[in-house]
């Protein structure tokens, strides 16, 4: 079967950045920053991106680009007859899981964009009112499912158009749109009277706040945010041109992802400070975006209702765009796997993945209402999916990817791939190998053990 490639360098970068930039940047990053002490957390996070994120991203890129196959076959090609293929299969499985619950939250962003566009938040003043809107909606047996299906179908629509005409073309439209919205929101937010203490929170590090747990949270966030550990970037790299400079692309994607996360922080904390909202720890949980923020926006721009309206509407539109480019990348991991391994037409395998994700997603969506009592270890279905995927599957996948490229992969093949056959300089090569062999796997092991309370 003829394999498609991304048609341009910029298209490839934007697609990979689109996978990385998502709810993780705009929803999860500010939560983690708020809970873990602000500026000091950000510095640790940047350290994690450099030590952990960049080496694994380069590894995924080189495995995918070298083998030009889906993530499961990639390992089979590089390590035939060995159990390494399970690293790829774990990635496909993780992609399927994450898409199912991620699309539930993505669906909520559609509802909230519509609420914001319909000016439904105007006149609401107390936290309880916002809480009621969220609880009524998320526990409803119909609407969260409708939006979940709409979101997965939107993703499906892009995927079936293929790599260049679907993923690449839409990334080229959506990513600049996302950047413009983020930039406008940052400028509005930091220029509001009273925003200063929010800015300070993000810029003045208090190192006494940095504990072992903060470092571990920063590592987990780096993984999630960069889409590492499940073969997503490996799959995208299989569509890269042979001339793509992998180190440069890694740097570009990491910079874009970190920049957008930081900018999300500069939207949320200054707005909260300006609203004199005094974000309490319980406001900076998963409900930050759906309960706290609409309230913050109304307070911050209370004097000019039109501004509150535009700001809220743009913010939820931003979330939709960011989530969509990420769900596309998760869907692609599974679609390319099924179509190449089982010799199915792309449209057929996309349809299977879409159907399976909707079915699983319905259970996740209902776990906020009708199925709220279905619990294991006090976790709902949604919590179990989120916990298993981000705290177990992604770090385990990432650790094995580092071990694979650091210890198993032929050194010459590795060098050839990152230097594009000797045409690009790679003075960092020895350091990279050292980091992949020792530093990255050990750090990740620390995250996993900490998740089990063993560290």
Phi, psi dihedrals of residue 21, rounded to the nearest 5°: -80, 120
- Tell me how far apart the alpha carbons of residues 379 and 191 are, in angstroms, rounded to a whole number: 41
Q: Is 19 near ligand PFF (CB under 6 A)?
A: yes
**214 near ligand PFF (CB under 6 A):** no
| Least Å from the CB of residue 37 to ligand PFF | 21
Contact indicator for 397, 87 with CB cutoff of 8 Å: yes
Site residues for ligand PFF, 90-109, by CB under 6 A, read 95, 98
Phi, then psi, of 379 in degrees rounded to 5: -105, 140
Tell me the two tokens of residue 306: 């039109």
Kindly provide the residue ranges of all beta strands, DSSP E only, lying in 151-247, ordered along the sequence: none
Site size toward ligand PFF (CB under 6 A) is 16
The minimum distance between CB 125 and ligand PFF, in angstroms, equals 31
Q: Which of 62, 105, 215, 230 binds ligand PFF (CB under 6 A)?
A: 230
In contact, 222 and 48? CB cutoff 8 Å? yes
Among residues 14, 17, 20, 57, the one that binds ligand PFF under rule CB under 6 A: 20
Name the minimum Å distance from CB 148 to ligand PFF.
16
Nearest CA-CA partner of 261 in 33, 6, 15, 14: 33
Per rule CB under 6 A, is residue 225 in the interface with ligand PFF? yes
Q: Which of 11, 18, 22, 166 binds ligand PFF (CB under 6 A)?
A: 22
Which residue among 70, 76, 227, 339 contacts ligand PFF (CB under 6 A)? 227
CB of 26 to ligand PFF, least distance (A): 8
Sign of CA dihedral 233, 238, 241, 247: positive
Query: Residue 249 phi/psi, 5° resolution?
Result: -65, -40
| 201 part of the interface to ligand PFF, by CB under 6 A | no
By CB under 6 A, is residue 55 in contact with ligand PFF?
Answer: no
Which bin fits 425, alpha (ψ -120 to 50), beta or left (φ > 0)? Answer: beta
Place of tokens 């960049």: 54
H/E segment holding residue 448: helix 440-451
Q: Is 285 helix (H, G, I), strand (E, B) or coil?
A: coil
Q: How far is the CB of 380 from ligand PFF (least distance, A)?
A: 20
Q: Is 70 in the site for ligand PFF (CB under 6 A)?
A: no
- Considering only 25, 71, 295, 450, the residue that binds ligand PFF (CB under 6 A) is 25
Site for ligand PFF in 317-376 (CB under 6 A): 326, 329-330
> Which residues contact ligand PFF (rule: CB under 6 A)?
19-20, 22-25, 95, 98, 224-225, 227, 230, 232, 326, 329-330
């Amino acid at each position: 079967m003829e394999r498609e490639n991304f048609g341009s360098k910029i298209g490839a970068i934007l697609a990979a950045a689109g996978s990385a930039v998502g709810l993780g940047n705009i929803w999860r990053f500010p939560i983690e920053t708020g809970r873990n002490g602000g500026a000091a957390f950000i510095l640790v996070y940047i350290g994690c991106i450099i030590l952990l994120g960049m080496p694994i991203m380069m590894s995924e890129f080189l495995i995918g680009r070298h083998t030009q196959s889906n993530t499961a076959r990639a390992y089979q090609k590089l390590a035939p007859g060995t159990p390494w293929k399970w690293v790829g299969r774990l990635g496909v499985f993780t992609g399927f899981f994450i898409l199912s619950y991620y699309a539930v939250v993505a669906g909520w962003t559609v509802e909230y964009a519509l609420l914001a566009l319909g000016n439904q938040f105007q006149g609401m003043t107390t936290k309880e009112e916002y809480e009621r809107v969220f609880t009524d909606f998320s526990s409803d047996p119909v609407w969260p499912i409708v939006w979940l299906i709409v979101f997965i179908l939107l993703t499906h629509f892009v995927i079936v158009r293929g790599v260049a005409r679907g993923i690449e073309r839409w990334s080229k439209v959506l990513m600049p749109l996302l950047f413009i919205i983020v930039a406008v929101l940052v400028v509005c937010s930091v220029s509001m009277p009273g925003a200063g203490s929010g800015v300070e929170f993000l810029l003045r590090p208090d190192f006494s706040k940095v504990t072992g747990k903060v470092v571990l949270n920063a590592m987990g966030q780096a993984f999630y945010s960069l889409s590492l550990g499940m073969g997503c970037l490996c799959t995208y790299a299989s569509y890269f041109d042979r001339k793509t400079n992998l180190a440069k692309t890694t740097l570009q994607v990491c910079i874009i992802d970190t920049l957008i996360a930081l900018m999300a922080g500069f939207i949320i904390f200054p707005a909260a400070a300006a609203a004199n909202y005094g974000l309490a720890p319980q406001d900076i949980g998963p409900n930050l975006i759906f309960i706290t923020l609409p309230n913050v926006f109304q307070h911050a721009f209370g004097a000019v209702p039109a501004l509150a309206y535009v700001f809220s509407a743009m913010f939820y539109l931003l979330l939709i765009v960011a989530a969509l480019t990420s769900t596309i990348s998760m869907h692609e991991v599974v679609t390319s796997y099924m179509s190449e391994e089982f010799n199915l037409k792309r449209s057929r395998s996309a349809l299977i993945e879409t159907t399976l994700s909707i079915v699983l997603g319905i259970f996740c969506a209902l776990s906020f209402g009708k199925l709220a009592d279905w619990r294991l270890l006090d976790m709902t279905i949604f919590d179990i999916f989120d916990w298993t995927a981000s705290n177990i599957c992604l770090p385990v996948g990432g650790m094995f990817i580092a071990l694979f490229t650091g210890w198993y992969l032929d050194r010459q093949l590795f060098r050839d791939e990152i230097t594009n056959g000797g045409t690009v300089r790679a003075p960092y090569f020895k350091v990279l190998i050292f980091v992949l062999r020792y530093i990255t796997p050990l750090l990740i092991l620390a995250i996993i053990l900490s998740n089990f309370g063993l560290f």
